[in-house]
Structure 1
C-alpha cells in the first residue's frame, strides 16, 4: 500500500504539473503584507517585569529567558530567549485509497515566515491553542478525523520533539491515519501519492518542514510485499530499501541504544529561568518602540 503509493507518480488524481501550478497559483492569488509593528500595539499581548512576552489567555506561547549550564562541549553556560509552548500540537496527514493506491491529503498552507507564503503542508498543522479556538477563529478542517481516530486507522502515531534550540521541551503528535469513507477535497487541499510528494521535495520552498518531519517517521521497509514492482525504483532507491531491511549492520540497535544511554548519563544539561531584561550579550530596547533582541536570532517584540 505505502510502497505502491511511493512508486506511483503518473496516472494519478492530480498530475505533478497540476499540483505545482496549484501551489504557484495560490502564491500568486494570495496577497500578504507583513510589516514590523511595536510589540506594545499588539492586541492581548503584554510584557512582564522580567521581560517575558505572553498572551493574556495564558495560552499559545510565551517568549522567556533561560540560563543553560552543561558539562558537554566547550561552552559551559549561556543565556538566551526561548519559545515556551507547553502544548502538544497536531501534525497530521489523512490518507485514503483510490484505485488501489494510497493518497495523502495535503494542504496549501500559508505561514507568515515562509519565503514564498504558501507551501505543501500536512492535512492538519495546529497547536492545541489554535484547534481549541482560543484565537476565536475557525476550527481547522479535518480535525475530527484525528481526534476520533480509531487504532485500526492509524498508520503512524508518534510524539516528537520540536527544535530544542528554539522551543522549550515542545512536542508534536505526528500522526498519519487511513480512512475508508468519502472525504471532501476543499480548495486548499489536494490528494497526492507519496511518490508525488517525494518528487515535489526536489523543488525549493515547495514542501514544508512539517510534512517532511511526519513522512520521515514511515519505515518504508515495513510495507514491502512480493506484489510490489521494485523495477521502477532507481539504483539509489533500491539501495535505500536494502539499507532499511538489512541485518548486516556496522552496529546493532542494542549498541546504538547503549551508546546513547551512556551519553545521556555522562553529561548534564540544566535549564533555569532567567529574566530577559538581564541577559548578557543580548540588546534590548523599551517596548514603546519596535524592539529587537539580537544575537544568533532576531525577534520582533
Structure 2
C-alpha cells in the first residue's frame, strides 16, 4: 500500500492498529538531514533550522527538561503479591475493584488456528470506557508545533516520557470539572474549524480487551502561545518530537500515534 493511503486510513475508526501507528510515528516528518542546523537562541521551546532540522542544542535542552521532570517525580514502583492488594475482588473469571476503578482484569481462553500456538489462556486488562489522547497545535514562523507534556507513568522503564497535551485512560480520566487538567476543555472543543484530526482507534489487543482511545489534533487558542506554561509542558516541532522517538524510550505510545496522525491527509476518501 502507498504510505499516503495508510496515513489516510488513520482517519477511519478502529482500522489501523496500534503497532502500525507506532511504526508510522517513527517515520521522519520530512527529508532526513545530513547534519544538524545552527542554534536558534530566540525560541526557548527548541532551536530549529527549518521545519525538518533539529539542532544539537535543542536535543540537549529537551534531554535536560526530561531529566528535570524525572528528578521531580516522587514515585517509586514495586511489585506486590495479589494477596496484599486491598479493595479488589477475585472470581473465577475476573479481578474487579470493589469501587472507583473503571477497569477489570479478565481471564480469557483463546483458540486460533492461524497462530504459532493454537490455544492458550491469559489475563487481559478490560477498560470500562475509551481514553483520550490529544495534541494542541499552533503555527509559528519556523514550523508548526504541538504542545507535549513530560508525563509520569508508573509502568514506564524510566518513569517519565514525552506524552500528549492531554492523555486519559479509562482509569485516569476526570469525572468532574474540578478534576480536569488545564488543557482538557480546549482539547475537547466542539468547534469543527479547530479540529484537525478526530478518530477513535483501538489499542494493542494482546494485553487489552476492546481498549480504545480517542485521538485528536486541535488548534490551540491564539492566547495560549503567549502564556507561561507549567514546567512539565513544552511546545515542540514534529521534527523535534521525531528526534526523541529515534532515541528510544523518550516518547510514549500515545504521542507516537499522534505523531503519525499529524501526517494523515485531510480526508479518508
Q: TM-score, normalised by structure 2?
A: 0.71
Please show how residues 131-280 of structure 1 align to structure 2 within 5 Å: 131-133=173-175, 138-183=179-224, 184=227, 185-219=229-263, 222=265
Map of 2:79 onto structure 1 = 36
Q: Over aligned residue pairs, what C-alpha RMSD do you find?
A: 2.9
Q: Per the alignment, do residues 219 and 96 of structure 1 end up closer, same or farther by CA in structure 2, a change over 3 Å counting?
A: closer
* Pairing partner for 1:50 from 69, 92, 104: 92
How many angstroms does 1:58 deviate by?
6.3
How many angstroms does 1:26 deviate by?
1.4
Structure 2: gaps spanning 5 or more residues? 1-28, 47-57
How many angstroms does 1:137 deviate by?
8.6
On the 8 A contact 1:13/1:191 being kept in 2, the answer is no
Q: Per the alignment, do residues 219 and 97 of structure 1 end up closer, same or farther by CA in structure 2, a change over 3 Å counting?
A: closer
Aligned residues: 217
Map of 2:62 onto structure 1 = 19
* Bigger proportion of residues as helix: 1
In the alignment, the residues of structure 2 paired with residue 24 and residue 30 of structure 1 have an alpha-carbon distance, to the nearest angstrom, of 10
The ranges of structure 1 where at least 4 consecutive aligned residues each deviate by more than 4 angstroms after the TM superposition are 5-10
Per-residue CA distance 1:116-158 (angstroms, 9 max, x = gap): 1111111111024422338x99323311112224111111112
How many angstroms does 1:63 deviate by?
0.6
Q: TM-score, normalised by structure 1?
A: 0.64
In the alignment, the residues of structure 2 paired with residue 74 and residue 138 of structure 1 have an alpha-carbon distance, to the nearest angstrom, of 45
Q: Per the alignment, do residues 129 and 202 of structure 1 end up closer, same or farther by CA in structure 2, a change over 3 Å counting?
A: closer
In the alignment, the residues of structure 2 paired with residue 201 and residue 61 of structure 1 have an alpha-carbon distance, to the nearest angstrom, of 29
On the 8 A contact 2:146/2:238 being kept in 1, the answer is yes
On the 8 A contact 1:109/1:121 being kept in 2, the answer is yes
In the alignment, the residues of structure 1 paired with residue 263 and residue 189 of structure 2 have an alpha-carbon distance, to the nearest angstrom, of 24
